[in-house]
Structure 1
Amino acid sequence: MANAGRGWTSTRISNIASRTFFFLIFLQIPLFRIPCRSGICTTPMHVTCSQLVASDIIPVGFVKTLIFPGAVVQGLVQSRTIPSWSSLEKIYNLTSAKDAPVVADLKRLEVLAGSYFSVAGALIGILKPGRMSMFGTLLIVWGLVKEGLLSRPANPDGAQSIYVYPSMLLALICAFASVKYDIKKAIRNQTARPVAKPLQSSSKSKLK
């Protein structure tokens, strides 16, 4: 009974963490500040959408669907207005993403890949929590550390400098908490494996 209660509690924590991570990503709560193809990106969603528009693989309408919930929240918080569907490209500066140089993306592959994983993990985590959100968040953190500390320019520009918001810590905690791992079940599976035993015929032949 106690094991069932602990398992239910672990599942509940995982579900709550997954949903919190989903809202952080899709409502576009600022987690960091880093130069990207559309100017300055502050969320994994912004990085992902700017790259999707630049690559021209996915229709712009689908990209607008991803960023619209966050745009509505940001519009209500900042100016108490709901942005129109047609103004999303201008608000997020997606029209100039195709003309931006690709060199900047090559320098920040970890942040780009981590943003892809974070967006996909947040969406999939609503149905079934997994490790994709954790991998994506760790990639973003490593990319920000590498960009901000290991390759710090001599004369950094304040507007172009790397910055990490305190909300990044909350996203990291939610990403780890969304992973459900039953240690007792893993140990039980290890002990339940059958041990290979010598054949009786071979043991008898050795005795003879």
Structure 2
Amino acid sequence: MSEKEIRPAVRTALEMGPILAFFAGYILLRDRAFTIGGTEYSGFIVMTAVFIPLIALSTVALWRLTGRLSAMQVMTLVLVTVFGGLTIWLNDERFFKMKPTIIYVMFGAILGVGLWRDRSYLSLVLGETLPLDAAGWRKLEFRMMLFFFGLAVANEAIWRSMSTDAWVQFKTFGLPIAMLAFFMAQAGLMRRHSTDPAETEDAAD
């Protein structure tokens, strides 16, 4: 089934809304503690409990509006639920902080396996919206593999050595900015290897 078109603003709101809500709630509750069922929970744990249903609802809304979900969206929801649930159950924020590391290692590994098998998994997901030749896909996937592994290392370094405030800011703003900067840096590669006639003419000029 082909993906239905929705407004970019709606997609951005659904994808970033839960993250921004987590950030805002954490800022409001970070210095408070809540006793529930005889157990004391920090504001971080409480907002983790709020974040799980928020991202579930946003993912379902994206599915209903577009008719499909990417593998990354499904895997993110599963890992948020699993690691967020462990965070709440064990009352230990480390599990939620490790979640981005697991996600980026998994996607880096998937791209690495594709490169090793000489198969372009990324083109299966983005091929309709990003027309590239085979060499372009291979170069982009290699760079994305390194990028994902780099993000995993950065996440581990930050949550293990810095404060929770620093990690929340990195998760909310640093990761999206890094993603945007990465794809902007690939503009030249995309022009050079585009199979779109208009892009090919521009690259040749």
The normalised TM-score by structure 1 is 0.25
- The structure richer in helix per residue is 2
Query: Highest relative contact order (Cα 8 Å, sep 6+), 1 or 2?
Result: 1
Structure of higher CA gyration radius: 1
The normalised TM-score by structure 2 is 0.25
